[in-house]
Amino acid sequence: MKVIFEDEFILILDKPSGITVNRSETTLNEKTVQDFVEEKFKIPDEYKDSDFYKRSGIVHRIDKETSGILLVGKTKEAFEDLQKQFKERTVEKAYIALVHGKVVPQEGEIISPVGRLPWNRKRFGVLAGGREALTTYKVLEVKYLQKDRGEEALSLLEVKPKTGRTHQIRVHLKSFGHPVFSDVLYGGRKTSRDDRRFLGRLFLHAAKIEFMHPISGKKVSYQSEISQDLKDFLGQLR
């Protein structure tokens, strides 16, 4: 786990793909981001009934296979202020995603309600009864992957979720007809199995975050470069 920035009040982490953020019953035999944070600083027991204690100061989540920036509050005051900023949607987040197909138009937004699928509680989808969700995107580049039967177009996007629904980016891009490359949950069984021949993880990276520092009140911004495995894969594309 790489530390991008740290002061008395906040910790900015660069999470590798393959690490779960929060502990749960399914993470008993693996080290999570929460374990890493607890090794760095100990939250006093006086806060044990608070969300700050239970989440070890971790303000938000990203998926296990998603790499990139995570924000941690090191004090209760900082944690609660940052949570409030997320709730009020004043935090700006940007992701880099590689998706199937040539995305048209070059810039746009996806507005569709997202909810948990009644027939599969582990997955989410665009549902009439879901919660409002807004994602904007911009095409950075169109690449081509050489396959046995010719080439496939892939679009490299900068994606900004304006709401914070679980799996929002992945669900929205799938509903838009451009699933994220190597997405086992939403890319379709045959497509994702084929993708995994070329890249063994989801091509989604939390690249940038911008917010007001909880103590100074100044706007701060932090960035994370895409990881080497993603760079290597992009290098194979035309």
Find the farthest-apart pair of alpha carbons in the chain and give their distance in angstroms, rounded. Answer: 62
Distance separating alpha carbons of residues 180 and 112, to the nearest angstrom: 17
Contact 2, 74 (CB under 8 A): no
Say whether 135 sits in a helix, a strand or coil.
strand
Instruction: For residue 232, indicate whether it is catalytic.
Output: no
> Do you know the residue count of the chain?
238
Distance separating alpha carbons of residues 8 and 137, to the nearest angstrom: 34
- Residue in 7, 35, 45, 63 annotated catalytic: 63
- Non-local CB neighbours of 110 within 8 Å, separated by 6+ positions: 134, 135, 136, 137, 172, 173, 175, 176
Show which residues are catalytic: 63
